Structure 1
Amino acid sequence: MKEHPLILVADDEPQMVGVISYGLQNAGFEVVMAYDGREALQQVEKCRPDLVILDVEMPALDGFAVCQKVRTATTIPVLLLTVRDEQEEIIKGLELGADDYMTKPFSIRELTLRVQAILRRTHNSDQHSVDIQPLHIDFDRRRVTLHDLPVELSPLEYRLLVCLVSNAGRVLTWQALLKEVWELEIWQGDKEMVKIEIYRLRQKLEPNPSDPIFIHTERGVGYYFEKINK
Structure 2
Amino acid sequence: MTRILLVEDDLLLSEGISYALRKESYLVDCADSIEKAWECLNKGPSLVLLDVNLPDGDGREFLKRLRSANKVPVVFLTARDSEKDMLEGFDAGCDDYITKPFPISVLSRKIGLLLKGVAYLDKSLYYQGDFVYDYAKKELTIQNVPVKLTATELRLLEYFLKNRGQVLTREQILENVWDSYENFVDERTLNVNVRRLREKIEKDPKNPRYIITMFGIGYKWKEA
- How does the TM-score come out when normalised to structure 1? 0.55
Among 70, 74, 80, the alignment partner of 1:74 is: 70
Q: Is the 1:8–1:32 contact (alpha carbons within 8 Å) kept by the matching residues of 2?
A: yes
Q: Where do 1:53-68 residues align within 5 Å?
A: 53-68=49-64
Distance in 2 separating the partners of 1:126 and 1:64: 23
Displacement, 1:139? 8.0
Among 176, 181, 184, the alignment partner of 1:150 is: 176
2:125 corresponds to 1:124 = no
2:67 corresponds to 1:52 = no
Partner residue, 2:89 = 93
2:8 corresponds to 1:11 = yes
Displacement, 1:143? 5.8
Partner residue, 1:26 = 23
Distance in 1 separating the partners of 2:24 and 2:52: 24
Partner residue, 2:185 = none
Q: Is the 1:90–1:101 contact (alpha carbons within 8 Å) kept by the matching residues of 2?
A: yes
Could you report, residue by residue, the CA deviation over 1:162-208 in whole angstroms, capped at 9, with x for unpaired residues?
Answer: xxxxxxxxxxxxxxxxxxxxxxxxxxxxxxxxxxxxxxxxxxxxxxx
Q: Kindly tell me: are residues 42 and 86 of structure 1, through their superposed partners in 2, closer, same or farther at Cα, counting changes over 3 Å?
A: same
Distance in 1 separating the partners of 2:13 and 2:110: 17
Could you report, residue by residue, the CA deviation over 1:76-129 in whole angstroms, capped at 9, with x for unpaired residues?
Answer: 1100011021111111111111000100000111111111111112253789xx
Could you report, residue by residue, the CA deviation over 1:129-181 in whole angstroms, capped at 9, with x for unpaired residues?
Answer: xxxxxxxxx9895362778231579xxxxxxxxxxxxxxxxxxxxxxxxxxxx
Structure with greater strand percent: 2
SS at match of 2:159: strand
Deviates more, 1:140-149 or 1:89-98: 140-149
Structure with larger RCO (C-alpha < 8 A, sep 6+): 1
Q: Kindly tell me: are residues 151 and 139 of structure 1, through their superposed partners in 2, closer, same or farther at Cα, counting changes over 3 Å?
A: closer
Aligned residues: 142
Could you report, residue by residue, the CA deviation over 1:24-65 in whole angstroms, capped at 9, with x for unpaired residues?
Answer: 101110000000112112211x21111110011111122111
Partner residue, 1:109 = 105
Q: Is the 2:155–2:177 contact (alpha carbons within 8 Å) kept by the matching residues of 1?
A: no
| Unmatched tracts of structure 1, length 5 or more | 128-137, 154-227
Distance in 1 separating the partners of 2:85 and 2:54: 15
SS at match of 2:68: helix
Distance in 2 separating the partners of 1:58 and 1:30: 22
Distance in 2 separating the partners of 1:96 and 1:113: 23
2:80 corresponds to 1:84 = yes
Distance in 2 separating the partners of 1:38 and 1:18: 19
Q: Could you say what the CA RMSD is over the residues aligned between the two structures, in angstroms?
A: 2.8
Identity of aligned residues (%): 29
Q: Is the 1:56–1:62 contact (alpha carbons within 8 Å) kept by the matching residues of 2?
A: yes
- How does the TM-score come out when normalised to structure 2? 0.57
Distance in 2 separating the partners of 1:26 and 1:10: 19
Q: Is the 2:8–2:51 contact (alpha carbons within 8 Å) kept by the matching residues of 1?
A: yes
